[in-house]
Structure 1
Amino acid sequence: MNKGMIMDSEDRIERTVDIYISAEAVRDMKDKKDTEDFNTTKTQTPQHTGSDGVNIRSSRAAVVCLVLLCVFLLTAVIVLCVTFTQERQQIITKITNLAEERDQLLTNNMNLTQEREQLLTNNMNLTQEREQLLTNNKNLTQERNQLLTNILNVTKERDQLKSEKNELQKLFAGGWKCHQSSLYFLSSEKKSWSGSRKYCTDKKADLISINNQEEQDFVKNISGGKLVWIGLTDTDVEGTWKWVDRSNMNFRNWKGLQK
């Protein structure tokens, strides 16, 4: 658009130059005509006075036309100058507006670039948060599975304990006694040492091994002072007494009991 306006201005300047050239041509023609009229008047004889009046009137008409033409040309030049000045001002204004628009576009582009960088940063942060959440979710899933496994194991242990409790309750109901995490059973049947041990092993137990005074007192209490078989034997080496669980005899205060 600016290029077209500049071309129009150049065309008008060329037209102005053409008008100036035409005015110079008319002036030259006038000077030439005046010279010819002067020469003609000078060579004419005094008897041609009527022709002189016609020539003078023609010259005056030419001068009037020339003056009018000059006024027209001057008016045209003034109009063209004013038009050129206005168009020049319009071009300068448009150039200024375009410069401002360019600066505004540059500012907008910079703002958009900053917003883009901010969006990229936010996207990277969200991606990192997503990865962290996925990792946390994986860890929580593993912990949940571990807890489920622990619950399953605890449930099995609970069921096992319940079963053992029921068995113990049955044993207690059958005459078994508990002391220091051990179970004791006092049979009312009278058997030999070997028969008593077989009786115990059939019940997945064995004859008692006494290792401290507290256990000695407990056995005396449940036996009511009766003689009972204890698990001492020298079957491996005669004269060397050991408990049936293969442990050495370190406690000897089992007076009143039978071996």
Structure 2
Amino acid sequence: MESEDRIEKTADIYVSAEAVRDMKHKKDIEDFDTQTSKSQTPQHTVIVLSVHIHTKSTNYTEERDQLLNKISNITEERDQLTSKNENLTNARVQLIFKNKNLTNERDLRNELQICAGWNFYQSSLYYISNKTKNWTESRRYCTERGADLIIINNTEEQEFVKNVSGAAVVWIGLTDSDVEGTWKWVDGSNMTSGFWANKEPGGGRAENCVVTVAVPISKDWQDLVGWHDAACNKAYQWICEKRIVQLLLP
């Protein structure tokens, strides 16, 4: 009985182990199905569109080269046109200058014809009057003719004035009317050096304009050869000066 009981018990243990294994296997399957069901995510359908372009690289290379060559030709034509335009511009400028020079020459000839009685010296034309006026009226006579009262810049010009004026007392373009003692030429420049006669200028506020005397004309004018100040309202002859460059200006 003890032996049978042992065998029976052994059988019971065996059956129990098999059942346990089957049950575990079943449970594992159920657990796997349950876990799979729980962890499963929705599936999405993705559609991919693919476009396949078939190119002929050789044809594109030829077209590119043709375009580059065409661009090069256009660039050359542009440069040629630019150069041609520059040449035409230069020619036009030369024609303008030539025309201007011809016009200036014509105007100069006309001006010289109009300036009959004017004396040419160095770079200016000079006119000495044979009438007498006060300083202001004398200057107006000059300016109405595109000139002004003479400005004496150097010894040579002073000698020229002496030669053309002779024994006349003539107005020149020098005055201190604006500021007493500050002598200015009619162009607004300051007098830096002059050809004053002995003890001149000496008239003070009563004598604000300047005449030049070439030779002693009387005892009263002894030692007064050169410049001296005089009352601007007195009447003397005058000398106008017109620089040649003024005739060439447009």
Q: What's the TM-score, normalizing by structure 2?
A: 0.46
Q: Which has the higher contact order (CA 8 A, sep 6+)?
A: 2
Largest Rg, 1 or 2? 1
Q: What's the TM-score, normalizing by structure 1?
A: 0.45
